[in-house]
Structure 1
Amino acid sequence: MTYRRLRCAVPAVLWVAWVVFSPAAAVSAQTRTVTDPVGRTVHIPEEPRRVITLAPSLTEMVFALGAGHRVVGVSRYSNFPPQVQDLPKVGSYVQPDVEKIVALTPDLCLAVKDGNPREVVEKLERVGIPVYAVNPKNLKEVMETLTALGDVLQAQEEARKVKDRMERRLEEVDRRLRGVERRPRVFFQIGVTPIVSVGTETFAQELIHRAGGVNVAAGPEPYPRFSVEQVLALRPDVIVVSSMEREQVFETVRAEWMRWRGIPAVAFERIHLVPSDLFDRPGPRLADGLELLARILHPERFHGGF
């Protein structure tokens, strides 16, 4: 074999060696076969010890289940709880970095169907890394996902506690809003330039309705775009600005809306700035988002807090 061919062959040999001998690829009696929430059959470790989460919502769920010590890598925008800031980042959830993932030798990756590319999942599985995928679309399915992950991570009892706490908080909001007659018309803004809101099939829509409001942007388009004139024509009672862009951008958006004194949200100074993480991540903190939104829409029902 020539020197040039040898140089080309060495990386391939090393790659095969990793696949054959890595803990993630090994098939042993310590694995079990499960069906994940999207209907895929997956062979996972009996008790995963090196987990990578491919979406911020999954990072939050795993830590909420008390299994954060097993996480060895997270997606780029994972920022809660604070200790995840020190963990290796493996790309964004729409563009995971396969090489970085493989280098961390996980024995399990957790993925979301709505976001993580299918081809990335297939690449990981080809090198022996099992991928367990979830796809919660509403609050009920978020709690079902918590239960499923509790089983995967052998954290069933903690999953039950987290689910029960979340259910109690949701029910308390329902109790306090019982009998509400007037539902404020809400424009929920998630994009600044262009102006983007939320349609019917979104977590924000579900939270608006459950918090006693009416989503003026409800419709088949999940994330419809609006002009300023279109928003003014809707005459919202409340404008909620929830964006990944924070601080100065928030204040700039508020100042822009305050120019239009003719709409109720501005006339009564009901423009609210809220963290996007509480409304677009399918995890336990959706309960925080619901409580916050309910206080914004019906402050008279929440004197003294929860």
Structure 2
Amino acid sequence: MRRLWFMLLALLLAGAAQAYEVRDDTGFVTTFDTPPARVVSVLPSLTETVCALGACARLVGVDRYSNWPPEVKKLPQLGGGLDPNVEAIAALRPDVVLTATSSRAGVRLRALGLKVVQLEPKSGADMRRVVTTLGRLLQVGGAEQLLRGIEAGVQAAAQALPPAARGQRVYFEVSPAPHAAGRASFIGELLDALGLVNIIGPEQGPFPRINPEAVVRAAPDFIMASRNSLAEMARRPGWGNLPALREGRVCAFDGDERDIMVRPGPRMAEAARLIARCVAGHLAPGAKAGGAGGGGKP
């Protein structure tokens, strides 16, 4: 009888030892007894990272914007990142819900008894921390390997650029309000890693809303944005005279390319390649103005 008691005690202690904690970007600590098998992600960059870590099969629902890798398109769509369908998420009985820190749904989801981990990368350091945190949350290896691969891909893109690219001044627009990518953002850090100069300084924050006149005064060498944004830029006061627009030194990203550019995660090396290919295409001998119809398609 005593032996049976000790065996039961050992099993209980072993089970307790398997429990682990995860601290999210809000400082909230969640305890897991076992790795989550049913995961809902309502932020595209988190969805992509879960899949890049080899745990795509655990996803049971995503937000309406998660579209990569292609298999996640088959999953139930549960609203947007800021306005997820809380009832639909709860109906899926997930072991954990991954959402942005800026989403207010976390409180409601926790009130329903769900475990919520809120993560929102805005800088390169944030991205590296989020990848590591998700690796721990999912109890999978490969986080460090994934990060090394991203870093190596960015370095390769930088090395592929011609010397004339270094120091080229760039304005990168993330939305037509206009909101720009500042030097403190992961996009700004990509530009810096490629040897390009962002005209939006770090003091303005990661993604500031800017005064359009500031861009006219700065007269960047390159303008980068989605095709839709670029189509209306010339109508802004003074922008029609910007040399970058007038001479066609633009990188116009289509919808799929824009997704790659604005999601801090496993495809950041691909984002660096898109930027590098566009810039290199304009600086190549004999390059024609306006020849870069798409980011990465010079």
TM-score using structure 2 length = 0.76
Q: 1:145 to 1:230 in 2, by over 3 A?
A: closer
Letter in 1 for 2:223: I
Equivalent pairs, count? 263
Counterpart contact for 1:174–1:210, Cα < 8 Å: yes
- Of 249, 274, 281 in structure 1, the residue corresponding to residue 263 of structure 2 is 281
Query: 1:238/1:150 Cα in 2 relative to 1: closer, same or farther (>3 Å)?
Result: same
**1: CA distance between counterparts of 2:144 and 2:21?**
19
Q: Which has the higher mean CA deviation after the structures are superposed, 72-81 or 288-297?
A: 288-297
- Cα distance change, pair 30–121 in 1 and its aligned pair in 2 (3 A): farther
Q: Taking every aligned residue pair, what percent have the same amino acid on both sides?
A: 32
Equivalent-residue separation in structure 2 for 1:167 and 1:149 (angstroms):
18
Q: Which amino acid aligns with 1:265?
A: A
Q: Choose the corresponding residue for 2:138, options 137, 153, 167.
A: 153
What is the aligned counterpart of 1:68 among 44, 53, 56?
56
Tell me the alpha carbon deviations over residues 73-121 of structure 1, each in whole angstroms, 9 at most, x when there is no partner: 11121111122122112221111221111111101111222x222xx22
1: CA distance, partners of 2:232 / 2:274: 20
* Residue 290 (structure 1) shift: 1.5
Equivalent of residue 252 in structure 1, options 231, 240, 252:
231
Does the alignment pair 1:268 with 2:247?
yes
User: What are the equivalent positions in structure 2 for 1:1-306 lying under 5 Å apart?
Assistant: 32-38=19-25, 39-113=27-101, 115-117=102-104, 120-156=105-141, 158-176=142-160, 182-192=166-176, 194-218=177-201, 219-221=203-205, 222-227=207-212, 229-242=213-226, 249=228, 252-253=231-232, 262-274=241-253, 275-299=257-281
Q: What is the CA-CA distance between 1:40 and the residue it aligns to? A: 2.4
Deviation at 1:58, TM superposition (A): 0.7
- Residue 34 of structure 1 and its aligned partner are, at CA, apart by 0.7
1:188 counterpart SS class: strand
In structure 2, relative to structure 1, the CA distance for the partners of 1:75 and 1:166 (3 Å cut) is same
Whether contact under 8 Å (2:182, 2:204) holds in the other structure is yes
CA RMSD of aligned residues (A): 2.9
1:262 Cα shift? Answer: 4.2
Distance change in 2, residues 1:145/1:195 (3 Å): closer
Stretches of structure 2 lacking an aligned partner (at least 5 in a row)? 1-14, 285-296
| Range 96-105 or range 121-130, more displaced | 121-130
How far, CA to CA, are the matches of 2:139 and 2:22 in structure 1?
A: 15
Unaligned runs of 5+ in 1: 1-27
Secondary structure of 1:276's counterpart equals helix
Larger deviation: 50-59 or 230-239? 230-239
Distance 2:163 2:230 in 1: 35
Q: Are the structure 2 counterparts of residues 31 and 112 from structure 1 closer, same or farther at C-alpha, using a change threshold of 3 Å?
A: farther
What amino acid sits opposite 2:224 in the alignment? Answer: V
Partners in 2 of 1:182 and 1:50 — Cα distance? 46
**Does the Cα contact within 8 Å between 2:82 and 2:103 map onto a contact in 1?**
yes
TM-score by length of 1: 0.75
SS in 1 for 2:19: strand
Cα distance in 2 between the residues matched to 1:123 and 1:225: 34
